[in-house]
Structure 1
Amino acid sequence: MMEAQMARLRAMGELETVRTDILGLAETLEGISLWRPAVGMRKACDESLLMLDRLVERFDRKLVVTLVGPSGSGKSTLLNALAGEDNLSPSGHRRPTTQQVVAFCRQSADAGQLMDELGPENIRIHASQAAEALENVILIDTPDTDSTHHDRHVPIIHKAIRLSDVLVCVFDGENPKRRDHTDFLAPYVRLFNGESLVVAVNKCDRLAESELTGTIMPDFSRYIGDAWSVEPAAVLCVSARSHLKDPGWDREAVPKHDRNQFDQLQQLIVGTFNRSGFSVDRRLENARSLREYLWQTVQTEAKKEKKDLDAAIGQMAASEAEAMRQAVTAFRGDGHALMPGINVRLYQQLAQRWLGPVGWLVAVWTRILVFGTGIASLLRFGNPVRQIVGAVSAVRHYADSKKAMDAADRGSGAGMALQRYDSAIARAWPDIAETLIKARFATSVREARHAPGYGEEIGQRLSLVWNDAFENELAKAGRRLSGGLLQLVFNLPVLGVLGYAGWLTAVNFFSGSILSSNFFLHAFWTIVLVLFLSFFLLQAVIRLAAGKERLLARIFSSVRETVDQQHNLSENPVWKQANTIIRLGDWGIGGLRD
């Protein structure tokens, strides 16, 4: 008893694992919603989850063995023969012979769940002492798969199969390879483990024994294997009518031979399926088969799209790379507007690093640059008229210089860059969309909103790339131009004059001599001249080593290098969905977990 309970708990845990796997597949399919096959397969997952839920609900209930077959296959006669009651399920020449699901069991309560699911109007329960041997099994007969009441019967058959654990697929031995019946059963049999499928070719007594054993049955076994891609537990030739209490043979249509595997079928049901604990194993194997079927279906469908999706991804990558190059070009075209801001930011970097008299002047010069380009023009050498105009317009240009700094910080070409990017993508997207549609993507993929970078995100990303490159290049330039040796070289002349003037002042002070005011005036101007000369020489070095044009060129080079290394497509939903489908085709659902 304890062992049976432990087996049940393990099986329940395995069922929950299967359910989680199918849920994961459903979520994956939900994430590739632009791919049209995903919609149908997502519904298949939902249907499978319902089947699992009902399987869990009936986990401790009897095994349901369901007979499914077309009109005239003798399916109802087979149920009567298996039950040992000739009139259990209606049989005869009137079609359809079976209009309801007929359940054969020991007690009516055994089929209570079937009654609840199918509805009392769609099932007739036959409880009989003849079912004494079926301690753990319920046998059910279903309406014909091709009856004249097809529209009403198929939903009933569908529900019955969904509640089944073993399918006995009945074929007419006189015409077993009916494609309509095989195709009808194909989507159902794949939901079952092969050990839960039995194929019964009925009316075999109507055929010549040599033809039956030498040609018909071997050929039919191959046919079923190819059509279903599932190997049934058994393919049996039977004569159900021979096992009725009153077969009612026509004198001119008696059996042609006694080759009949009915006893083997009966032994499968009574001896194997009816075994205690078999239902748990079958339901667990069916659940695993259900999962494998879904995974295989998704992988098979995804493989069909690999060629077109690879082409579409290649087109997207090429168009995105070209669009990014166009965007970077937009930044370069706006470089002149950025130069004043770049110059100010460079001197801010130097002001933070330089020490000594020249460092003080660098800091003052930085403030002047921040204040406005007008005063800066006044203090540069050049045309006196332009210097005066610069001084007068200093206040007016203050706002412009601030704008230049802001533009440098965020990359003032970001708006134009985004426009260039979207324009380049827009030109390429129609061809990409048609390739995706060939891969069974929805026609809505033609809409521009599905294109990579649609909207503001690329503009924001380019701004971030610009800011990173800008700050990195400024920091590098600041470090190069603030080395200890360089600071010593440019500060030394000023410090020398200051030291010399101070030494003379101190010597004369301690000797009691008083220096004239002319001395201090001359010393002051000498210091100022040497300081400004050192500063102007420093500006020349800065211009040569990291002038605005040079620095701007390095920033753009860094931006381009960064853009070339980035894979911006990874953020695009269409690109993500296309790659997910390719991975599903290559590795199946397991490939998405790695």
Structure 2
Amino acid sequence: MIDAQMTRLRAVAELESVRADIRGMADTLARVSLWRPAAGLQTACNEAIAMLDRLAERFDRKLVVTLVGPCGSGKSTLLNSLAGDDHLSPAGHQRPTTQQVVAFCRQPADAAQLVDQLGPENIRVRASEAAEHLENVILIDTPDTDSTHQDRHIPIIHQAITLSDVLICVFDGENPKRRDHTDFLIPYVRLFGGRSLVVAVNKCDRLNETELTDTIMPEFSDYIRKAWSTDPSDILCVSARSHLHRPGWTEQARPRHTRDQFDQLRGLIVDTYNQAGYSVDRRLENAHSLRNSLEQTIRSEAEKEKARLSEAIDQMAAAEAEAMGQAVAAFQGAGGAATGVNVRLYQQLAQRWLGPVGWLVAIWARILVFGSGIASLLRFGNPVRQVFGAVATVKHYGESKKALAAAERGAGAGTALVRYDAAMARAWPDVAERLVAARFAPRVRDERQAPGDGEAIGEQLARIWNEALEEELEQAGRRLSGGVLQLLFNLPSLGVIAYTGWLTAANFFTGTILTSNFFVHAFWTITLILLLSFFLLQGAIRLAAGRERLVARVFVRLREALDGQTHLTDHPVWRQARIVLGLAA
């Protein structure tokens, strides 16, 4: 008892692992709503989870072996032969012979779950104590797959198969390669793994034995494996009627030979499927087959679009690279991008320079700040409105509020926004057509689906620009504020000041009063030397860290920071295309 409980617990844990895998597939498909096949595949995943739930509910139930076949294939006769009861399931020439699911088991209670699931109106339970050889198995016969009542029968067959653990596909030996029956079974056979899928070619006794052995069966085996892309555990030729208690042969219908694998099929059911505990292994293997089938189906659908999606993704990346280049060029060409560089440089120097020249540097920095403010007041026109006017000229991009908001943060950011969005808009029609060809929803053609991320690009450019500029200004300030350099430029004026002070002090202590002309001349001499030193310093600053040089270095940093970056990763179309491409791997 303990071993049985442990086996069941391990089975439940493994089944939950399979369920988690399928939920993961469904969650992934939910993230690619623009890809049209995703909806159907997600529905298949949800149905598979429901099947696993039903599978878990019947872990303690008997193994369900289901026969499926078209009209005239003899599956009802085969069920009667396997059960040892000629009248268990209706057989004969009237079509359809089977209009309900027929379940054969030892006790009616064994099929109670099937009755609950299928409905009492769709199933007829035949119980017999004589079925000792089916202690752990329930045999069920299904309605014909191609009957005149097909619309009513197909849902019943579908539900019966999803409640089954072993599928025996019955084919008519006189016409086994019926494409309609083969195709009907394709979505079902992939749900059964290992020894859970068996093919029985019935009425083989009516065929020529040599032709059956050398031609019909080998050709049918190749045909069915290629059509289903899976290998049944057994492909058996049987003569079900020969094993009825009263076959009712006519002279024309008697068997033509004794080649018959019915005993092998019956032994498979009685000796293998009927083993205690065998049902748990079958159900787990079928659960794995169900998961693998879904994985293969999803991968197959994604692989169909692999080439188109790769081209679309590459084209989107190339378009973004071009758009980014244009945005950077626009940002670099905008006059507002370099505004205030000199002011900020002299502010850096004012914090570091000492002495008389340092005083002039501080005064000059404040003059530049004041002058920039006056110039901004007197500048003709409003740069924000100018950028707004540029935005309005871009085709399909009349969303002025976004452009205006970016422009108010700086002319460079606003222009970058316009250039980036316009470049992406121009490239989008070709990208969208590739995506539609890859079965993406036609709404991706809408220009609003294009990765118009210019506002974020403008903000990022402004942020990187400011960070790079601050770093360059700080480095320039350190280079131009060295102790040797400060001593060199302060020394002339300090020398004159020191000499003037020495003369003043010496004459003061000797009682000699210096004339006012001496102090006037000394003042102008110090002023001229100080101004000359400051002008020379300005020349050195211009040569070493002029605005053009600083801006050029800042844009080198800007391009390096943007090199290899992509801003499409958060865009839904790009993200979903990448996910679908990943499903094909």
* Offset from partner CA, 1:252-277 (integer Å, 9 cap, x none): 21111222111111111111111112
> 1:371 aligns to what?
370
**Is 1:279 matched with 2:279?**
yes
Structure 1 CA distance for aligned equivalents of residues 483 and 125 of structure 2 = 100
Q: Provide the residue aligned with 1:418 in structure 2.
A: 417
Q: Which amino acid aligns with 2:70?
A: P
Cα contact 2:319–2:423 (8 A) shared by 1:
yes
* Residue equivalent to 1:288: 288
Whether 2:459 is the aligned partner of 1:463: answer no
Describe the superposition over 1:369-388 as per-residue Cα deviations: whole angstroms up to 9, x where unpaired: 222337xxxxxxxxxxxxxx
Residue identity matched to 1:55: L
What aligned pairs does 1:110-509 form with structure 2 within 5 A after superposition?
110-335=110-335, 337-373=336-372, 396=377, 411-454=410-453, 456-507=455-506
Q: Which deviates more, 247-256 or 452-461?
A: 452-461
The 4+ residue runs of structure 1 with deviation greater than 6 A are 398-403, 406-409
Instruction: Work out the CA distance in 2 between the residues paired with 1:505 and 1:123.
Output: 126
Change (3 A) 1:506 1:117: farther
* Kept in 1: contact 2:101–2:141 (CA 8 A): yes
Match of 1:555 in 2: 554
1:12 maps to 2:12:
yes
**Shift of residue 250 of structure 1?**
2.0
**Residues 211-220 or 310-319, more deviating:** 310-319
Secondary structure of the 1:570 match is coil
3-state SS in 1 of match to 2:574:
helix
Deviations 1:519-541 (CA, angstroms, capped at 9, x unpaired): 55544444433333322222222
Give me the whole-angstrom Cα distance separating, in 2, the residues matched to 1:363 and 1:274: 98
Per-residue CA distance 1:115-134 (angstroms, 9 max, x = gap) = 22212221122222123322
Q: Contact (CA 8 Å) 2:319, 2:424: kept in 1 or not?
A: yes
* 2: CA distance, partners of 1:481 / 1:408: 34
What residue identity is the alignment partner of 1:181? H
C-alpha contact 2:331 2:337 (8 A) present in aligned 1: no
The DSSP-based 3-state class of the residue aligned with 2:124 is: strand
Deviation at 1:293, TM superposition (A): 1.4
Q: Post-superposition shift, 1:93?
A: 1.4
Q: Distance in 2 between matches of 1:321 and 1:464?
A: 19
CA distance in 2, matches of 1:445, 1:483: 59
2-side partners of 1:498 and 1:400: how far apart? 48
Matches within 5 A, 1:17-32: 17-32=17-32
Structure 2: distance between partners of 1:97 and 1:235: 25
Task: Give, in whole Å, the separation in 2 of the partners of 1:424 and 1:396.
Answer: 34
Measured in 2, the distance between the counterparts of 1:407 and 1:545 equals 33
1:151-204 CA-partner distances (Å, limit 9, x unpaired): 111111111111111101111111111000000001110121132101111111
Alpha-carbon distance between aligned partners in 1 of 2:184 and 2:512, rounded to the nearest angstrom: 123
Deviation at residue 513 of structure 1 after TM alignment: 5.8
Indicate conservation of the 8 Å contact 2:406/2:455, yes or no. no
Aligned length: 565
Q: Using the aligned pairs only, state the percent identity.
A: 69
Q: 1:217 and 1:551 mapped to 2: Cα distance? A: 84
How far residue 324 of structure 1 moved from its aligned partner, in angstroms, is 1.5
SS at match of 1:129: coil
SS class of match (1:168)? strand
State the shift of 1:27 in Å.
1.9
Whether 1:544 and 2:540 are equivalent positions in the alignment is no
CA deviations 1:220-261 (Å, max 9, x no partner) are 111111111111111111111122222122232111122211
1:496-516 CA-partner distances (Å, limit 9, x unpaired): 334334444555566666655
CA distance in structure 2 between the aligned counterparts of 1:372 and 1:362, rounded to whole angstroms = 15
C-alpha distance 468-447 of structure 1, shift in aligned 2 (>3 A): farther
CA distance in 1, matches of 2:146, 2:356: 102
Partner Cα separation in structure 2 for residue 495 and residue 99 of structure 1: 116
Measured on the aligned residues, the alpha-carbon RMSD in Å equals 2.7
Checking the alignment, whether the CA contact within 8 Å between 1:411 and 1:466 is kept in structure 2 is no
How far the C-alpha of 1:356 sits from its partner, in A, is: 3.3
Q: Is the Cα–Cα contact under 8 Å of residues 370 and 398 in structure 1 kept in the other structure?
A: no
Structure 2, unaligned runs of 5 or more? 385-404
SS at match of 1:104: strand
Q: Give the Cα separation in 2 of the matches to 1:580 and 1:524.
A: 77
Instruction: State the TM-score, normalized to the length of structure 1.
Output: 0.88
Q: TM-score, normalised by structure 2?
A: 0.89
Contact 2:204 2:260 in 1 (8 A): yes
The letter of the residue matching 1:253 is: A
Shift of 1:343: 2.1
- How much has 1:69 moved relative to structure 2? 0.8
Provide the residue aligned with 2:391 in structure 1: none
